[in-house]
Amino acid sequence: MMKISTLSWVYLVLLILYCFSTNNKCLLTKAQDDTSTSTTSGGSSSDPPPAEEEPKPVSKEQENCNGIFLTYDFSSKEKLYPHLKNATAQPWSFMSTASIVNMGLYEVKAWQMFIGFQNGESLVSAEGATVVDVEGPPYKVGKNGTSIVGATKTDLKTAVDTAGDYEQMQAIINFKGTMFGGSQNSKPMPKSLKLQNDGFKCPAATKKGGQHMYVCCTRDPKVKLKNSNSKYMPRTYGDITLAYDVLQAYPSKYLAQVTMKNNHPLSRLDRWNLTWEWQKNEFIYSMKGASTHEKDVSVCIFGPQGKAYKDMDFSTVQSCEKKPIMFDLPPEKIKDEKIGNIPYCCTNGTFLPKQMNETKSQAMFQLEVMKLPPDAEDRVDISPPLSWKLNGQLNPTYKCSTPVKVDPSEFPDPNGLDATVSAVASWYVTCNMTTPKPQKAKCCVSFSAYYAASAVPCPTCACGCEDNLPKCDAKNEPLPVPPNALLVPFENRAVMAQQWWKLKHKKDNAPFPKKLPCPDNCGVSINYHLESDYKSGWAARLTLFNWGQLPFQDWFTAIQTKQGYLGYENVYSFNGSRMANSEYTKNIIFMQGLPGMNYLIPETNGTRPDKDPKIPGKQQSVISFAKKGTKVIDIPAGDGFPTKVFFNGEECAIPKTFPKKNGAIRSQIGLLPALVVALLTFMLMVPLNW
Ligand SMILES: *[C@@H]1O[C@H](CO)[C@@H](O)[C@H](O)[C@H]1NC(C)=O
Ligand SMILES: *[C@@H]1O[C@H](CO)[C@@H](O)[C@H](O)[C@H]1NC(C)=O
Ligand SMILES: *[C@@H]1O[C@H](CO)[C@@H](O)[C@H](O)[C@H]1NC(C)=O
Ligand SMILES: *[C@@H]1O[C@H](CO)[C@@H](O)[C@H](O)[C@H]1NC(C)=O
Ligand SMILES: *[C@@H]1O[C@H](CO)[C@@H](O)[C@H](O)[C@H]1NC(C)=O
Ligand SMILES: *[C@@H]1O[C@H](CO)[C@@H](O)[C@H](O)[C@H]1NC(C)=O
Ligand SMILES: *[C@@H]1O[C@H](CO)[C@@H](O)[C@H](O)[C@H]1NC(C)=O
Ligand SMILES: *[C@@H]1O[C@H](CO)[C@@H](O)[C@H](O)[C@H]1NC(C)=O
């Protein structure tokens, strides 16, 4: 007895001495150990350092909160090298902690917190959470703040369900980051703090004592969750929705199926690329119905994957990338037992609006995902990939949500029995089209009219111009041109524009501009020509031009025209129809190619490639409108022009002005030399019904 206690005394004294000599490192090491072990064992991070044995007493504010209680605490700050004289440029490192506790009656599924960082912070790590919608690490959250979701602890149970077990009711996130400027004593705090889950509302956060901030969010009684029996979030609308369904789960791997559905009547994807980010070093063992652009097996061999699966032959692995880029297979693979043979797959990455073809408005593929320890021990430990991004060739731009856990999807029984089978678990992502910013369009519109000699070409730089000071004028309006100039590539228009200028400025002798306006740089342009105006009606002609190198199969176009919608009669060479007025489709006439004419070929060489200009792929049709039922229409004043034009779902840049009335000449666009496109001439010969 004596011996032992003497020994332990000696030990203690030695330990204290050691602590002093190493500048309190033993305390810190212990705290760090705590956090690292607890994250690996399921993400429940302990309190920030200095760690405490006893749980912190619950604050008054938290006690008074009957909802979800969020906090943010600034912990510490340290000057980083280089030490600069200029205080604004001085980098600092900082540590802070956020927490989220469920003090309410309802479980919170897939919590998502917004932290309104405002001091140009850059997060190096966010232990216990995943930063969404920002590339990183480091996550440059800038002055806009960021959203975070639980890394492993995605759901917060209630005290009632857990007998008050904080482990299951709360999540703690430890941030480490850098920032610039400020003094030694300044404690930069975020602007705001809130819970972003549907059905909750948060008042403005309260700041206390300069480095503490909290808010109590409560359920919004006005928002009723659709399926109140469900434990999960409801599936909401998205222009495109993606389901991540786990079909089979084993401890170390699972089979997931991704289903994409197109819900917007004007949304479409071609040659889609889908990418996401694995959270736990997962890798794709195999794939059916889609493939990945790169394999990069070395990531696995030299990474944690190689350590976890020492005996695996990684040369046969589909993809080891953290952010794999996936794409659809070509139609040849549709029956391929090994990599194809999945419903809705293998269309070269095209999915269309539902109204064109319901079957073609979906896409699907399957992947076998390998997990790494510690998640590889339990089949229920599945973390879906985050940061989903979807894009395609000449398609609308989409912004996607973080995956939300939803009720497991149900499928018809694969054995043909009259039954349904459920997925093991399902996540759901919505992607919405975003309006293109000016100069970010992918197609553009030119206007011309029977009453005007000059056409209004596509806006300058409609689809962007190179930044490095082009030789052309990116700011100026395009020059007026004769309508037939719209038939040739931009580089061939300069001479025509100059001759036209001379003709138009005979009297005033205005000098031709030295620096010409830049091109539109669009792969697709659309000419909208007002063709005639008579007592009972009017007609327009729409011509699609493909200046790109790839064809468009199953193309569609749509015009928004308030006057034209009411009086719409017929589109002669396309399959046209008025769309039902809805939130997304107001006064829209939808047009697609007739069977056999649904192909817009790419640009081709002229007959003598060295001399003749290149020839765009073209499709053309006349549209007729009646005047009865519509108000007074002043066609020469521009009433006949559309307010919006879409091509393959993408909204096209449209001119700001209409052609000016100055002596009628016959438009040249309809009068193509028979040589150029025999097809077009044939279409123009199609008799019109008036
Ligand atoms: C100090 O640094 C800031 C940020 O880098 C910079 O904008 C500012 O011009 C610098 N001031 C001086 C006096 O160099
Ligand atoms: C902040 O938001 C603005 C407007 O949405 C955006 O233009 C800017 O790029 C954002 N900055 C960062 C750092 O994300
Ligand atoms: C599919 O894409 C490949 C390569 O991108 C192309 O060569 C092929 O013609 C396409 N097939 C169809 C049917 O569009
Ligand atoms: C035109 O398209 C509709 C679907 O949008 C289709 O039902 C109809 O059969 C098509 N008509 C022709 C002539 O192709
Ligand atoms: C829709 O697409 C499928 C698959 O390509 C095709 O079999 C079917 O005929 C199409 N339906 C219509 C109405 O065009
Ligand atoms: C899809 O991704 C590949 C690989 O990064 C890229 O080469 C291709 O251009 C992308 N396609 C589209 C339509 O963005
Ligand atoms: C898309 O829009 C729907 C409603 O219009 C909305 O509920 C959903 O959150 C949006 N998704 C994204 C990623 O913005
Ligand atoms: C078009 O002409 C260019 C030379 O002017 C040539 O390099 C190219 O191969 C031609 N393309 C086709 C499809 O004939």
CATH no. for residue 659? 2.60.40.290
Domain match, 265 and 404 both = yes
Q: What is the pLDDT of residue 33?
A: 37
Within a domain: 7: no
Q: Which residues pair with 69 in a beta bridge?
A: 101, 216
For ligand 8, atom 2, the nearest C-alpha belongs to 609
Spans of the chain below 50 pLDDT: 1-7, 10-53, 227-228, 664-668, 670-690
Alpha helices in 466-533 (DSSP H): 493-504
Give residue 480 CA to ligand 7 midpoint distance, Å: 41
Within a domain: 590: yes
Q: What is the pLDDT of residue 31?
A: 37
Give residue 178 CA to ligand 1 midpoint distance, Å: 18
Q: Of 386, 404, 434, which residue sits at a domain end?
A: 434
Listed in sequence order, the residues at least 6 apart from 186 whose beta carbon sits closer than 8 Å to its beta carbon are none
Residue 555 and residue 350: Cα distance in Å, rounded?
11
E strand or H helix at 682: helix 678-685
Q: What's at 368, amino acid-wise?
A: E
Within a domain: 2: no
**CA 168 from chain center: how many Å?**
33
Listed in sequence order, the residues at least 6 apart from 638 whose beta carbon sits closer than 8 Å to its beta carbon are 658
Domain match, 564 and 594 both = yes
Does ligand 2 come within 6 angstroms of the Cβ of 144? yes
Domain match, 519 and 560 both = yes
Domain match, 189 and 252 both = no
For ligand 8, atom 4, the nearest C-alpha belongs to 609
Within a domain: 15: no
Which position has the token pair 């006690």?
63
Domain match, 676 and 614 both = yes
Burial class (CB in 10 A: 0-12, 13-18, 19+), 125: middle
Q: What is the pLDDT of residue 224?
A: 64
Q: What is the pLDDT of residue 399?
A: 87
Within a domain: 273: yes
Residue 74 and residue 91: Cα distance in Å, rounded?
17
Domain match, 410 and 470 both = no
Domain match, 529 and 584 both = yes
Domain match, 114 and 185 both = yes
**CB distance 642 to 561 below 8 Å:** yes
pTM above 0.75, yes or no: no
Domain that holds residue 415: 240-434
Give residue 142 CA to ligand 2 midpoint distance, Å: 8
- Tell me how far CA of residue 419 lies from CA of 157, 247, 256, 481, in angstroms: 33, 16, 21, 65
Burial class (CB in 10 A: 0-12, 13-18, 19+), 362: middle
- The bound ligand whose nearest atom lies closest to the alpha carbon of 146 is 2
Does ligand 7 come within 6 angstroms of the Cβ of 430? yes
Residue 15 and residue 427: Cα distance in Å, rounded?
51
E strand or H helix at 210: none
Give 656's Cβ-side CA count (13 Å radius).
Answer: 7
- The bound ligand whose nearest atom lies closest to the alpha carbon of 88 is 1
Within a domain: 1: no
Within a domain: 524: yes
CA torsion angle for 263, 266, 271, 276 (degrees, to 10)?
-50
Give residue 549 CA to ligand 8 midpoint distance, Å: 12
Which position has the token pair 């497991």?
408
Buried b (16+ CB within 10 A) or exposed e, 17-48: eeeeeeeeeeeeeebeeebeebbeeebbbbbb
Does ligand 1 come within 6 angstroms of the Cβ of 85? no
Within a domain: 153: yes
**Which of ligand 3's atoms lies nearest the C-alpha of 348?**
1
19 phi and psi angles, rounded to 5 deg: -60, -45
Q: Of 185, 219, 253, which residue sits at a domain end?
A: 219
| CA dihedral sign of residues 401, 402, 403, 404 | negative
Residue 481 and residue 452: Cα distance in Å, rounded?
11
Domain match, 454 and 342 both = no
Domain match, 546 and 633 both = yes
DSSP class of 354: T
Residue 360 and residue 267: Cα distance in Å, rounded?
12
Domain count for the chain: 3
| Gyration radius (Cα) of the chain, Å | 32
Domain match, 174 and 282 both = no
Residue 71 and residue 266: Cα distance in Å, rounded?
43
pLDDT tens track for 15-69: 444 444 444 444 333 333 333 333 333 334 444 444 444 556 788 899 999 999 9
Give residue 38 CA to ligand 4 midpoint distance, Å: 60
DSSP class of 222: T
Domain match, 151 and 263 both = no
Q: Of 391, 411, 434, which residue sits at a domain end?
A: 434
Q: What is the pLDDT of residue 684?
A: 39
Three-state secondary structure of 390-438: EECCCCCEEEECCCEEECCCEEECCCCCCCEEECCEEEEEEEEEECCCC
